[in-house]
Chain A
Amino acid sequence: MAEVTMTVNGKTVTKSVKGNTLMTEFLRDELRLTGTHVGCDTSQCGACNIHVDGKLVKACTMFAGEADGARIATIEGQADADGTLNAIQAAFQEYHGLQCGFCTPGMVMAAAALLKDNPKPSEAEVRHHLEGNICRCTGYHNIVRAILAASGQDVPAVAAE
């Protein structure tokens, strides 16, 4: 066991963890932040996406020990404290960017990372950025539309292929 200290959604946390504790396990089991989903657990699906020092990372493919001293953001920190959705979350709701919702936390975290670096992405850039996120319900069109809407751009009525 080793002690790790990090800030998670602005709060400093210190915990003892085993060497093989993954970030998904640390967030879900130790901190009870279960919004970070475990889809494939093989770094393909992106449901576990979080931000580590502002960068998009798959939490299933990083050890808690590697996050010592890091600044972590998860889906739980995206809405305001009073539950008001942020622009991306609100756009996902408005544009029906989710069906079962399992992939949604990872999609929202991926979108947030994209819009931070590229505030007005093209549709192609949005699709390219979502390469590491799998959704089995929506066919992606409404997710792409939601992200374009969240960036303040016009949204095509039917997203182009």
Chain B
Amino acid sequence: MYSFDFARPTSVADAVAALGQEDAQALSGGQTLIPTLKQRLASPSVLVSLSAIADLKGVSAEGGTLSIGAGTTHATVAAEAGAYPALAELAGQIGDPAVRNRGTIGGSIANNDPSACYPAAALGSGATIVTNSREIAADDYFQGMFTTALEEGEIITAVRFPIPEKAAYIKFQQPASRFALVGVYVSKGAGGVRVAVTGASNDGVFRWSEAEAALAGDFSAGAVEGLAAPSGADMISDLHGSGDYRAHLVKVLTKRAVAKANG
């Protein structure tokens, strides 16, 4: 690793100030960032740890909305997000137990890995990403692989999920990394039907709008049956699976997710 200074502020305001320094980088759970630093793929001047900011932690449900502090670990979401069972289940399937005790929802959503699980939940639920300066709808937030609407130095403070009537996440797990080879999150609620896909596209998480349209009138696995799978031409193609294989999985997993949501 390159050398850097380490700061551990205890308030969001102090963290924002610390991130104003040149080449400063925020650190949440570090389960992606620390391996990245070890590979010398990043060389911050100062690493600003968000782990001592109590305001960024916790899960609360109120009036049909589940609010999760950005610094809340996957393990805590799995244990405490009972008001939104599909989301709690998703959190409990990320990585392994030790990773779930460090990794955070804010870190995952800020990083926007194209195969991460949380972006699918946020986009598939129509969540709101709350930062130190504004609120961003998930539809506007995710802008491509590892790319988001966050500005330099902006910190996610919370993610707010409207709790849908029905939802489910199915991930076809890449067994070595436990990332999603493909993952599909479906929900049906006040905002209509949403189908969000992770792990498949070179552009990161996306909504499969044809499936959403088909499911709007008939929320059943059968409604997806007649659809053509999305094109595999511009999907991720690597040693774990071709673009066409991933495209095939999108349709299969969408059907399974709808069936599971209908429970």
Contact = CB atoms under 8 A, between A and B. Distances in A.
Do they bind each other? yes
Contacts of B98: 43, 46, 49, 56-58, 110, 132
Contact of B8 (A22, A55, A65, A133): A65
B229 interface: no
B34 interface: yes
Contacts of B30: 61-63, 66
Q: How large is the interface on B (under 10, 10 to 19, 20 to 34, 35 or more residues)?
A: 20 to 34
B131 to A, nearest CB: 22
Given A20-B37, A43-B35, A63-B34, A56 B101 contact: yes
Contacts of A132: 95-99
A98 B8 CA distance: 39
Residue of A19, A52, A129 ringed by the most chain B CB atoms within 10 A: A19
B227 interface: no
A28 to B, nearest CB: 16
A41 interface: yes
Nearest to A61: B34
A19 B38 contact: no
Residue of B8, B31, B95 ringed by the most chain A CB atoms within 10 A: B8
Contacts of B176: 44
Contacts, number: 79
A131 interface: yes
B127 to A, nearest CB: 26
Contacts of A22: 34
A63 B1 CA distance: 12
Contacts of B6: 2, 19-20, 63, 65
Residue of A42, A46, A61, A68 ringed by the most chain B CB atoms within 10 A: A61
A42 B47 contact: no
B102 A65 contact: no
B49 A42 contact: no
B51 A19 contact: no
B248 interface: no
Interface string B59-85: 000000000000000010000000000
Top 6 nearest A-B pairs (CB, nearest first) are: A132-B96, A19-B6, A55-B101, A131-B96, A65-B6, A20-B1
